[in-house]
Amino acid sequence: MSTPTRRDEPWVMRTYSGHSSAAASNALYRENLARGQTGLSIAFDLPTQTGYDADHPLALGEVGKVGVPISHVDDMERLFDGIPLERMNTSMTINATAPWLLALYIAVAERRGIPRAQLAGTTQNDLVKEFLSRGTYMLPPGPSLALQTDLIAFTTRELPSWNPINVSSYHLQEAGATPVLEVSFALANAFAVLDAVRARPDMDAATFSKVCGRISFFVNAGIRFVEEMVKLRVMGRLWDETLATRYGITDPKARRFRYGVQVNSLGLTEQQPENNVYRIALEMLGVVLSKGARARAVQLPAWNEALGLPRPWDQQWSLRLQQIMAYETDLLEYGDLFDGSVEIARLEAKLTDEVQAELAWIAARGGVAEAVLSGALKERLVAANAERLRRIERGEQVVVGANRWTESARSPLLGDDGGIMQVDASAEAAQVDALRAFRAGRDSMRVSEALERLSEAAHGAAGFTLMEASIAAAHAGVTTGEWGEVMRRTFGEWRAPTGVTAGGVAGGASAGLEAARLRVAEIARDLGRPLKLLVGKPGLDGHSNGAEQIAVRAMELGMEVVYQGIRLTPIQIAAAAEEEGVHAIGLSILSGSHLALVPEVLAELARREVAVKVFVGGIIPEADREPLLRMGVARVFTPSDFDLTRNLVALAEAVLA
């Protein structure tokens, strides 16, 4: 060919990353940008996400684990050292504390003399899905949604290139949602956001149209990539149609369905982890193949996520896949490949009907906020995930290497270090020391004045004022924990419905359930009463899907289950075990903080002389299994132990032993 082919611009390429400290994460970001990444996606640690300082008791073991700790404006400055904010597109996975982290980001820009209007990026700022599945909420639903709306109004006025919210269906799929549930829950959520924004007294039609144009979505894409592509085409069409008909948006650009994606991690396996590379590539097809429904930004997980934290090289490998897809293949040279396909049109029509029915179901429950409050949505998710797990256990859903073709040589990729990143164990202590030094060096008069103004702004509930007060507080040296404390004091705290109910269990029995029930009943006879099990999550990790499934299955097997939920201190867990007279405790930990948290729980149980067997499940690297058992843990379960029934029978046998 003589004339060069016109190619579409590729999507923004990011990697969700951050760990240990602002300095370590800054080095990683610069490295990733040098390797061809075109945007940043910041992972914050759990204390930062939930508004606690690194030296708070709940932060123990969590500092720098699943992301970077940002305690104050100097941390934020260091995180972006040498990175030009005015030219960067920065996505922050931040929700309950989104106003605060955005305030810190703006404060750093202002220190550098960059106008607010030049900042481009995204705050996730979607609280509904935090209540449903991700668990890093801080305040009750009412004030949470008010803060969410305030931020949207603020950036629309002050940061016109900012996406103030990433309505997230991603976490719903990670929690086991089917495509129908994912699309309908996310759309219902987005419409509720628009309703809340439109109801503000300061909102006129022109500004509202701008808000619509800045709403973006954060979706998931699983291995069934044809279905996933159809899902995104349907989502885009429904979004466009509803904005036109229900909200009267006339500008087609403001109605465009804009989304970023992180492809599915739920289906990645611990067994034969090298296969995950293929899975990630296929999952990506669902969000790039169809030009009409192509992602604006793509993040890919690393092949070894089910084993532990990925290393920089693992993330580079995923980035290379994006680059090959965008620059080596001919994908970006064509129009939409699927417009006019009869089969795709049929699938779209079917999904559209199912989504409409689901939207009606949510509306009948008083809308998305009511359905979250009552636990109705959560129950649907827990039931959907229970059904997914049953299908895998029964072998109806094939997972190569997990329930079919499980024979394998040991993967040479695992190397001597287990093939994962070893987090620097001294990072937490270093962050705590640095934080205390920072506090000591502040102008304390200025800090208390800033906190006073912040508190007044929070009580006044005027969002513009709260954001400005937060930016002033950031400049004054207020910390993340102090900001969170003002919000908690003003608005109260909250525990979301768990969705763990007897009614949430749907579908038929899984393989071997009857035999397991009989064995559990025999053990109950020997114990003199039914086996009583406490299930809970210590630390700040809010990913409760696994714990919920364990609780539901244990109940099905005839155990009496006290489900204690998330964000528990060792004292709360030990006290509950003592009060409830349980035979066993199941701790679920996915954040990598197990070596810090488990000994604390065991020590607290010993102090109270509570004799109970402790079981640990989660993302536990193989190298940590022995140390946990030596501490006194009865058994360790990892993602490769996917048969919940078998795990629970093993637990019951261990209680009797």
Partner 1 sequence: MPEDPPRPRLDRKALATALNAVETMGDAPLSEARAAIIDDAWAHPRGRAIGVTGPPGVGKSTLCGRLVQRWRSQGLTVAVLCVDPSSRRGGALLGDRLRMRLDGSDPDVFVRSMAARGRLGGLAPRAFEAVTVMRAAADVVLVETVGVGQSEVEVADLVEVTAVVIQPGSGDALQFLKAGLMEVFDRLVVNKSDLGALASNAARELRAALRLQGRREVPVHLVSAEDGAGIDVLADALADGTPDPGRRGDALRRLMVDRFRAWHGERIVVALGGYAALVEALAGAPDRDTMTPGAAWEALESRLRG
* Chain positions contacting partner 1, by CB under 8 A: 495, 498, 500-502, 517, 521, 527-530, 551-552, 554-565, 568-569, 571-572, 575-576, 578-581, 608-610
Where are the extended beta strands (E) located within 54-154? 89-93, 120-123
Nearest approach, Cβ of 372 to partner 1 (angstroms)? 15
- Residue 171 a catalytic site member: yes
What are φ and ψ of residue 613, in 5° steps?
Answer: -85, 135
CB-based contact 380:368 (threshold 8 Å): no
User: What are 294's strand-pairing partners?
Assistant: none
Nearest approach, Cβ of 549 to partner 1 (angstroms)? 13
- Residue 16 a catalytic site member: yes
141/477 with CB nearer partner 1: 141
User: What are 585's strand-pairing partners?
Assistant: 534, 614
Nearest approach, Cβ of 182 to partner 1 (angstroms)? 26
Give the largest Cα separation in the chain, rounded.
Answer: 84
- Residue 537 a catalytic site member: yes
Q: Return the residue matching tokens 């931020």.
A: 151
116/608 with CB nearer partner 1: 608
Spatial separation of the C-alpha atoms in residues 227 and 360, rounded to whole Å? 22
Q: Among the options 72, 171, 583, 613, which is catalytic?
A: 171
Q: Among the options 45, 314, 541, 624, which is catalytic?
A: 541
Nearest approach, Cβ of 293 to partner 1 (angstroms)? 40
195/578 with CB nearer partner 1: 578
382/402 with CB nearer partner 1: 382
251: Cβ–Cβ under 8 A, 6 or more apart, which residues? 209, 213
59/402 with CB nearer partner 1: 59
3-state DSSP call for residue 14? strand
Spatial separation of the C-alpha atoms in residues 148 and 126, rounded to whole Å? 7
For the CA atoms of 364, 367, 371, 376, the dihedral, rounded to the nearest 10 degrees, stands at: 30
CB-based contact 459:479 (threshold 8 Å): no
Spatial separation of the C-alpha atoms in residues 319 and 13, rounded to whole Å? 7
How many other C-beta atoms lie within 10 A of the C-beta of residue 368? 25
157/608 with CB nearer partner 1: 608
454/487 with CB nearer partner 1: 487
286/565 with CB nearer partner 1: 565
In whole angstroms, what separates CA 86 from the centre of its chain? Answer: 27
Q: Among the options 29, 52, 137, 170, which is catalytic?
A: 170
Nearest approach, Cβ of 544 to partner 1 (angstroms)? 12
Q: Among the options 19, 543, 583, 594, which is catalytic?
A: 543
Nearest approach, Cβ of 563 to partner 1 (angstroms)? 6
569: Cβ–Cβ under 8 A, 6 or more apart, which residues? 57, 58, 538
Specify the amino acid at residue 142: G
Q: Among the options 56, 537, 594, 613, which is catalytic?
A: 537
Specify the amino acid at residue 156: T
282/562 with CB nearer partner 1: 562
490/572 with CB nearer partner 1: 572
Nearest approach, Cβ of 579 to partner 1 (angstroms)? 5
Nearest approach, Cβ of 77 to partner 1 (angstroms)? 37
Q: Label residues 251-286 b or e (16+ Cβ within 10 Å = b).
A: eeebbebbbbbbbbbbbbbbbbbebbbebbbbbbbb
Burial of 70 (0-12, 13-18, 19+ CB in 10 A): buried
**CA triplet 505, 371, 97: central angle to 5 degrees?**
110
- DSSP per-residue letters across 253-312: GGG---EEEE--STT--SSSGGGHHHHHHHHHHHHHS-GGG--SEEE---TTTTTSPPPH
Nearest approach, Cβ of 645 to partner 1 (angstroms)? 13
- Residue 170 a catalytic site member: yes
Q: Among the options 16, 105, 247, 259, which is catalytic?
A: 16
Spatial separation of the C-alpha atoms in residues 377 and 362, rounded to whole Å? 8
Tokens representing 546 are 């696994």
How many other C-beta atoms lie within 10 A of the C-beta of residue 638? 18
CB-based contact 620:636 (threshold 8 Å): yes
Nearest approach, Cβ of 547 to partner 1 (angstroms)? 12
Nearest approach, Cβ of 566 to partner 1 (angstroms)? 10
CA distances from 338 to 289, 292, 333, 346 (A): 9, 9, 14, 12
Q: Go through the chain and tell me how many residues it has.
A: 657
277/576 with CB nearer partner 1: 576
Spatial separation of the C-alpha atoms in residues 19 and 423, rounded to whole Å? 8
Active site (catalytic) residues: 16, 170-171, 537, 541, 543
